[in-house]
Amino acid sequence: MRAVAALASVCVACVLSAGRATGEESGNDRGYAVVVSASTAASNGWAAVVTALRAKHDGCVVTYDGDDPARALPELRRRHPRYTCFVAEHERVTREFVMAVHRLTRRFDDDPYADTLWGILTGYDASNALAIARCNAPLTVRKVASGTEVALEMCEEGLWYDELVKNKTVRKRPGGEPVREVGPDDTTRALVDTLNVYHADLFVTSGHATEHDWQIGYRYRNGSFRSKAGQMVGRDTQGNRIEVDSPNPKVYLPIGNCLMGHIKDADSMALAWMNDAGVRQMIGYILPTWYGYSGWGCLDYFLEQPGRYTFAEAFHANQHALVHRLRTYFPEVATNVVADVRRLPVTLTDRAKADGLSAHDAKGLLFDRDVVAFYGDPAWAARMAPAENTYEQTLTVDGGVYTLTVKPSRGDASFTPVNTNGSQRGWRPIIAFLPHRVRDARIVSGAEWSPVVTDDFILVPRPRKPVPSEGIKVVFTGT
């Protein structure tokens, strides 16, 4: 369906047009599709992965011939599942495959946003993938560990080691406040211990990386994590080898790392994280990162709005935010698919100029749009432990009337960035996923907040001016 956007401050009735046959989505509204190539589905080990996912989620299986998942589009359009899991051997998960999944999942209907919560389920081998597929118990992220600064005030407990400042460590214990401590010169063993001993539920990294290593220090000499044959080790500056042994289920955010999501070969880091370090969901750039919106923004939705989104929802909310930003400021290039964005001519709109955006931003957003992979079962629920958010949002449904209410919790600071470490941080729009798919949405009130309503979520640009104490309210109808 086409997205409904309230233009300027005029409360207009905008209509969503049906993008597929009536009756399809009612039975499949929270449906789950396993998408797999015919040859993978016929393989004994991988057939078990498909069967496990189908049984766990009462889902359907959509197969396609060859290597291009876009061949599954007609059936995915017909079914329009809430969740779509692409199962593939790691040899098939190339850069082209990841990009194809991004582009395919925006084509289930005719709005420009991703139309399903998707993930790519792979692994070092079929046994590893099956362990991920069978992971069923939801994860509450209580312990956070990071190789870069994160907003520990939003976490139940955690610690981070600074990649920029030697010996700087910040720790938050349960019930306490974040406290700066003196860390070791070389943090390799300490970071391995956060996995092996501390048993972190969420691991966050940034800095230099390749497909085969993570270089821990960004501005000073430090050790590294390295991968080979599905195994992960730490290697400190003295050459000591420190084994990673961390089987507890966890999620991984390599928000600022180059190439961590690119599965180049069997020795790739992504496979070792999944096979040897208990990672059940992760994101990762498949190319060297230089803009950062798709990576760092996942912190804004997942860690800095604790308990509001699952890990998969946070990734997709950030993707929706990126597409909305492209369409808002750079509509002329928003639909482009180009091999080298650096050569793309960009004519700046008056709105982009007024808000201080440049051609660099247009090219950065286009670059980031399709180059971050999401690995894992998208319906597996991992959430931050609930905590007070900077603003509260509720979505109520009464018959065919939907009401989004957003109330500030921290006065004028409610909508300002929680943390600015990294690139392209803060000012992500407010997003609420709808409990079921809607048609014929009409904005009744709240158009002054410039909401966008699609068939499965509502987006409201984050306000940069003071909000009344009663907050923001957007009312729309839909069938």
Q: Is the pLDDT of residue 14 over 90?
A: no
CA 377/CA 311 separation, integer angstroms: 11
CA 156/CA 152 separation, integer angstroms: 8
Confidence label for 15 from pLDDT (cuts 50, 70 and 90) = very low
The length of the chain is: 479
Q: Is the pLDDT of residue 13 over 80?
A: no
* Residue 28 phi, psi dihedral angles, 5° rounding: -115, 20
The answer to whether 445 touches 474, Cβ cutoff 8 Å, is: yes
Read off the pLDDT of each residue in 100-111 and give the average, rounded to a whole number: 97
At residue 4, the pLDDT reads 64
Among residues 15, 2, 112, the alpha carbon closest in space to that of 444 is found at 15
- What is the percentage of the chain residues whose pLDDT exceeds 70? 94
CA 50/CA 362 separation, integer angstroms: 39
At residue 5, the pLDDT reads 60
Q: For 335-364, how does the pLDDT look when each residue is reduced to its tens digit (9 = 90+)?
A: 998 778 988 999 999 999 999 999 999 999
Read off the pLDDT of each residue in 323-338 and give the average, rounded to a whole number: 94
Q: Is the pLDDT of residue 16 over 60?
A: no
At residue 160, the pLDDT reads 98
Q: Find the helix or strand (DSSP H, E) in which 445 lies.
A: strand 442-445
Q: Is the pLDDT of residue 18 over 80?
A: no
CA distances from 113 to 109, 116, 223, 237, 294 (A): 9, 9, 40, 45, 14
Q: Is the pLDDT of residue 176 over 70?
A: yes
Instruction: Decide which of 3 and 108 is more confident.
Output: 108
CA 258/CA 212 separation, integer angstroms: 11
Confidence label for 332 from pLDDT (cuts 50, 70 and 90) = very high
Sequence-separated (6 or more) residues with CB below 8 Å from residue 152: 144, 158, 159, 160, 170, 171, 172, 178
3.40.50.720, 2.60.120.260, 3.40.50.960, 1.10.1040.10: CATH of 28-134: 3.40.50.960
Q: Find the helix or strand (DSSP H, E) in which 165 lies.
A: none
Task: Enter the tokens of residue 342.
Answer: 């650096």
- What is the percentage of the chain residues whose pLDDT exceeds 90? 91
**What is the layout of strands, in order, in the sheet containing 202-205?**
60-64, 32-37, 83-87, 117-121, 372-376, 279-285, 250-254, 202-205, 143-146, 157-161, 168-172, 179-182
CA 264/CA 94 separation, integer angstroms: 7
Q: For 357-405, how does the pLDDT look when each residue is reduced to its tens digit (9 = 90+)?
A: 999 999 999 999 999 999 999 999 999 999 999 999 999 999 999 999 9
CA distances from 450 to 6, 29, 36, 261, 382 (A): 5, 27, 39, 35, 31
Q: What is the DSSP letter of 218?
A: S
At residue 3, the pLDDT reads 65
Q: Is the pLDDT of residue 148 over 90?
A: yes
- The stretches of 29-182 forming alpha helices (DSSP H) are 38-41, 44-57, 73-79, 95-104, 126-134
Q: For 31-75, how does the pLDDT look when each residue is reduced to its tens digit (9 = 90+)?
A: 999 999 999 999 989 999 999 999 999 999 999 999 999 999 999
Q: Is the pLDDT of residue 2 over 90?
A: no
Average pLDDT in the chain: 93
Q: Find the helix or strand (DSSP H, E) in which 403 lies.
A: strand 401-408
Decide the pairing of beta strands 4-5 and 60-64.
unpaired
Confidence label for 8 from pLDDT (cuts 50, 70 and 90) = very low
Q: Find the helix or strand (DSSP H, E) in which 357 lies.
A: none
Confidence label for 415 from pLDDT (cuts 50, 70 and 90) = very high
At residue 340, the pLDDT reads 86
* Buried residues in 410-436 as b, exposed as e (16+ CB within 10 A): eeeebbebbbebbbbbbbbbbbbbbee
Read off the pLDDT of each residue in 164-184 and give the average, rounded to a whole number: 98
Q: Is the pLDDT of residue 180 over 70?
A: yes
Going from N- to C-terminal start, the domains of the chain cover: 4-15+388-477, 28-134, 139-311, 315-381
At residue 338, the pLDDT reads 79
DSSP string, 72-105: GHHHHHHH--SEEEEE--GGG--HHHHHHHHHHT
At residue 342, the pLDDT reads 85
* 188 SS3 class: helix
Read off the pLDDT of each residue in 180-187 and give the average, rounded to a whole number: 98
At residue 9, the pLDDT reads 27
Confidence label for 294 from pLDDT (cuts 50, 70 and 90) = very high
